[in-house]
Amino acid sequence: MSSVTEAVRIAPPGNPLTRSVRDSLIVAKRNLIRMSRIPEMVIFGLIQPIMFVVLFTYVFGGSMKIDGSTSAEGYKNFLMAGIFAQTVTFATASSGAGIADDMHKGLIDRFRSLPMARGAVLTGRTLADMVQTALTLLVLAVVALLVGWRVGTYRDTNAGKVLAAFALLLLLGYAFTWIGALIGLSVRTPEAATSGGLIWLFPVTFLSNAFVDISNMTPWLRHIAEWNPFSATVQAARVLMGSPGQSTAPAWPMQHSVAASLIYSVLIIAVFRTLAVRKYRSATA
């Protein structure tokens, strides 16, 4: 039996849950330090959502009918919840690519030689990605305010509800990073992880209520969009932020969007974290 295997089997004393949390935070800190030393990762992560805000606002703003009006101001406030949700979910690709890169460089093998919780490597990585996504959301919100986005344009809201909306967005982003983690563990190169992480995101984000009113879709597409987990979080964000374009569709996720968003995100985390950790164990066995 190799010394690496022996090292994995030797666990330090203490509560397993406590060790797992500690190890996850250590790995998260390592990834955050790495991100701070490569500012291009953060800068390029900001450029795409800012471009979407500017392009959709000024190119499509006067053509989209929201709540019976083609006002550019109305579409601007309708759009931002969708842009926020798209931003947190597109972080999935970079998460998967980062894990694939660690696998490719042999860093995971180094972690295997340490007496640490197996799931801590993935949990730490996803937590670090969530922190980066939160910073991106903060900058994006400032940009949105500069171009005229305002909360409470459709109904009254408050700071607590707005913060709850951003919390739901981050929870969805965290859930989707576990899908990215599974993809990163399932491919051989970071380039494949990036491509695989983006291919499925486009239909998920565009076949939704993020950019258009789903009531104008054909019936079969509308039903898919109404039950799309991404749509539930966008709808919840609009409700909590008091934005226009809140769907009146009878589908349960649209009528109970906050609860639906929570349920979808928790289920995605439970399922894909289990699959990702299992894949990690088999890949490093």
Tell me: the pLDDT tens digits for 218-228? Answer: 999 999 999 99
Helix (H) or strand (E) holding 204: helix 201-206
pLDDT of res. 6: 40
Contacts of 20 (CB under 8 A, 6+ apart): 117, 119, 120, 123
DSSP 200: T
Most confident range, picked from 67-81, 153-167, 213-227, 256-270: 256-270
Query: What is the distance between the alpha carbons of residues 65 and 75, in angstroms, rounded to a whole number?
Result: 8
Taking only the tens place, the pLDDT of each residue in 1-58 is 444 444 444 445 556 677 778 888 888 888 788 777 777 767 777 787 788 777 777 7
Query: What is the distance between the alpha carbons of residues 96 and 193, in angstroms, rounded to a whole number?
Result: 6
pLDDT of res. 4: 41
Q: Is the pLDDT of residue 229 over 50?
A: yes
pLDDT of res. 173: 93
pTM, two decimals, is 0.85
Query: What is the distance between the alpha carbons of residues 77 and 66, in angstroms, rounded to a whole number?
Result: 10
Query: What is the distance between the alpha carbons of residues 232 and 266, in angstroms, rounded to a whole number?
Result: 13
Average pLDDT score over residue span 151-162: 86
Q: Report how far Cα 11 is from the mean position of its chain's Cα atoms.
A: 33
pLDDT of res. 90: 86
Structure tokens at 30: 């390592």
What percent of the chain is modeled with pLDDT above 70? 85
CA dihedral 15, 181, 258, 149 (to 10 degrees): 120
If phi > 0 it is left, if psi is from -120 to 50 it is alpha, else beta; for residue 245 that is left
Contacts of 19 (CB under 8 A, 6+ apart): 11, 12, 116, 117
